[in-house]
Amino acid sequence: MSFAIHVKPRSIRTQLTLWYLLMLGSALAAFATFVFLIRMATLSREVDADLNIRAQHLVGVLQPRLLELDPVLALDNDRRLLEEPFIVRERSGLLVYGSPAFPLLHGVNDTVAVRAARGLDGLVNVDDSTGSTFRLKTLLVERTGATPLVVQVATPTEPDHAMLRQLAATMLLMFVLVLSAASYGGSFIARRALRPVDAIVGRVRAIQASRLEERLDVRTGSEELDRLVDTLNGMLDRLETSMHGARRFAADASHELQTPIAAMRAALDVGLGDELSAPEYRALAGELVADIDRLSALVRDLRLLALADAGQLFERAEPVDLGLVVRECCEIVRAVAEPKQIVVSVDVLAEVTVRGSALHLRRALLNLAHNAVRYSPDGSTVQMTIGRLDTEAVVALVDEGCGISPEDLPHIFERFYRADPARARDTGGTGLGLAIADHIIRSHGGRIEVSSVVDRGSTFAVFLPLPTASDLSSAAPLQTINAF
């Protein structure tokens, strides 16, 4: 069994502090490494320059003694040279003289020194028998009438290494001190930067569902957080609108449902309380059936709206011949318009195909057409026209009815909204027809635009997006939710 260890802190304040320390630590480490390498290179150059000067000076001191007949005796007699770390070799590498201060070399290191003497390599590193490292400078001394000699001067590198270690320790200490101070400073800055967030959280928590009219009045002085406050206030506006709409819808729905239920209860009370004749019972039963039909229609409409709100009106779309749907709607509406001698005509300017549900599109267009016939005077005309405009299919429905006043026009697609007494229950509607049509069209990616003049008529224009060729070729089988 393995256990996952989550080390990522959940607090944004801690995350900001850690990221700040990580960035600062990385920058300091890079800077310290750069300084250390620069100082190491500088020390190396200084050591080489100092060794070269010392070697040149020492050769100048040694040269007169190396010109004598017995240079070894001359060097031994000069006590000043006993503390100088040098040796004298022949060009072949054979040792002529060695100062007591010169490091003791063995094995590979002695071989390196001999090769330096033979090749006159300027500077090489060697280790003595104790493991200490020395820098070795090789110089050639010419002698008149004799074979030239080679002088090798050594200087220890340990003091420079000690200086570098001290520099590294100092920088490490400063690194820790700076990060410690930065940790406190970063935490303080993060707390101060996120203080407005705490204020926003506290203010949001204080807003209850019953007080959605309240808004966040926090001004942070930060462009990003001010945008967050504005976004939250916009969300509260939408929530308030949705909440009020839901409450109004619940009240309207309960009222609409209560009306047929009350009528049914009254009819049943009459039937139970009085001795009625067979024709009277049949009339009472007819009233009950009418109320049940109205109640069933209202429940179906409410279910369809609930499915549309949830985005589940239909799962997949199919190509729909919009012209065929419009013709079918006209045939159905003509039967309704015939008693009022209203002429329903259709004009197909272009054959168009959209994607969606033919069943629901038919329901939306029928609702609009029934609405036009219901509120048009006898002997008038209802005209349906279908065509295309750029990348959209357009179905225009024009009637000669009573029209809609400007103050009522923005609300006609609200549920249970009735603009005037003419739109009463005795027309046979539930007050949801236009709302259902609007939801169906919007679920297909379209929209409904309305223009109206009082006492002269209204025009409802339905716009639906036209599919591309790839959309039509990849159309999947339709699965429509049964909401009727």
DSSP string, 60-129: HHHHHHHTSS-HHHHHHH-GGGTTS-EEEEETT--EEEE-TTSPP--HHHHHHHHHHHHHT-SEEEEE-T
Residue 4 pLDDT class (50, 70, 90 cuts)? very low
What's residue 210's pLDDT? 60
Give residues with Cβ within 8 angstroms of 471, minimum separation 6: 355
Contact 349, 323 (CB under 8 A): no
What's residue 480's pLDDT? 44
Burial classification of residue 54, based on how many CB atoms lie within 10 Å of its CB (0-12 exposed, 13-18 middle, 19 or more buried): middle
**Tokens describing residue 426:** 């005795």
What's residue 171's pLDDT? 92
Residue 245 pLDDT class (50, 70, 90 cuts)? low
- The length of the chain is 484
* Residue 408, CA distances (Å) to 4, 74, 417, 423 in order: 62, 125, 9, 12
| Residue 77: how many other CB atoms lie within 10 Å | 10
Whether the per-residue pLDDT at 477 is higher than 70: the answer is: no
Are β-strands 381-389 and 392-398 bridged in parallel, bridged antiparallel, or unpaired? Answer: antiparallel
Over residues 212-226, mean pLDDT = 72
Diameter over CA atoms, the chain? 163
| Same fold flag, 223-307 and 314-473 | no
Over residues 53-74, mean pLDDT = 85
165-177 per-position pLDDT tens digit:
999 999 999 999 9
Whether the per-residue pLDDT at 461 is higher than 90: the answer is: yes
Higher pLDDT, 91 or 354: 354
34-46 per-position pLDDT tens digit:
999 999 999 999 9
Domain extent listing, the chain:
12-163, 223-307, 314-473
What's residue 414's pLDDT? 81
Over residues 438-445, mean pLDDT = 89
Selection from 187-201, 267-281, 314-328 with the highest mean pLDDT = 314-328
What's residue 5's pLDDT? 44
What's residue 199's pLDDT? 79
Contact 362, 329 (CB under 8 A): yes
**Tokens describing residue 44:** 């190396």
Q: Helix 433-443 vs helix 278-309: angle between axes, to the nearest 10 degrees? A: 30
Contact 311, 442 (CB under 8 A): no
**Tokens describing residue 254:** 């309960």
Over residues 377-393, mean pLDDT = 92
Cβ density class 326-337: b for 16+ within 10 Å, e for less: beebbeebbebb
Taking alpha carbons only, the member of 376, 481, 475, 471 closest to residue 439 is: 481
183-198 per-position pLDDT tens digit:
888 888 888 877 888 7
Task: Give the CATH superfamily of 12-163.
Answer: PAS domain (3.30.450.20)
* Residue 208, CA distances (Å) to 205, 214, 216, 238, 244 in order: 7, 9, 12, 15, 14
Residue 253 pLDDT class (50, 70, 90 cuts)? low
Cα separation, 405 vs 419, in Å, equals: 8
pTM of the predicted model as reported, rounded to 2 decimal places: 0.52
Give residues with Cβ within 8 angstroms of 303, minimum separation 6: 483
Computed over every residue of the chain, the mean pLDDT equals 82
Q: What's 174's DSSP letter?
A: H
Over residues 450-471, mean pLDDT = 86
Higher pLDDT, 347 or 10: 347
Q: What's 475's DSSP letter?
A: P
Let me know if domain 314-473 sits in CATH 3.30.565.10: yes
Contact 154, 135 (CB under 8 A): yes
* Structural class in CATH, domain 223-307: mainly alpha
Cα separation, 24 vs 46, in Å, equals: 32
Give residues with Cβ within 8 angstroms of 294, minimum separation 6: 260, 430
